[in-house]
Amino acid sequence: MERIVLDSHLDCNVILEAIFEISSGTIRGYKRFEGAESYLGIEALAQLGAYHVRYLCDFEKHAFLLGIKRCALSTEKRMNGPFRLAGELLGHGGSAFSYHLLASCAGVAAIEGEFLFGTVEYDETHFKKDVLREYFRKVFSRLRNASAALERT
């Protein structure tokens, strides 16, 4: 019998470069894009929102994008330059969270919309708490530390 091994390489999937600010209602981050398609900007915003949800849940629940209620994209074909990413919590109840997320470069909006996130309890099969909770905490810490380095430059 042939055995298939899947390796998620989770570190490869992090698009965000830094998280500058986080509070109970907002999160601010950073990403420099060079000739990127818009879907990568949408993914960066989704990651930003999901990290805010994890932060609010003290990294005790798995967070994921449920859907995008509304999304407006710039007419630019590619994303180039340093982008400020911003998220504002619009509301939440139970395991659902609604955010206004924005990616802008030089003060001009490139992507803006309302994103919906959900949470589930960690379990022992699909969302392994001992692996994922520590992974997301470590990445969050790295993103927060990266913001201090970027601010010094």
What digits encode the pLDDT tens for the residues 68-118? 999 999 988 899 999 999 999 999 999 999 999 999 999 999 999 999 999
Q: What's the CA gap between 98 and 28, in Å, rounded?
A: 16
pLDDT per residue over 5-63, tens digit each? 434 444 458 899 999 999 999 999 999 999 999 999 999 999 999 999 999 999 999 99
Residues near 12 by beta carbon (within 8 Å), at least 6 away in sequence: none
7 found inside a domain? no
Residue 84's contacts (CB-CB under 8 Å, 6 or more residues apart) are 28, 29, 30, 103, 104, 105
Residue 92 inside a domain? The answer is yes
Looking at the structure of the chain, the number of domains it has is 1
pTM: 0.88
Residue 3 lies in a domain: no
Going by pLDDT thresholds of 50, 70 and 90, the confidence category of residue 4 is very low
Kindly state whether residue 2 falls inside one of the protein's structural domains.
no
pLDDT at 151: 64
Q: What is the span of the domain harbouring residue 60?
A: 16-152
Indicate whether 122 belongs to any domain: yes
Looking at the domain assignment, is residue 112 inside a domain?
yes
Asked whether residue 127 is domain-assigned, the answer is yes
Dihedral sign, CA of 52, 58, 59, 65? negative
In a domain, 22, yes or no: yes
- 130: domain CATH number? 3.10.129.10
152: burial class by Cβ within 10 Å (0-12, 13-18, 19+)? exposed
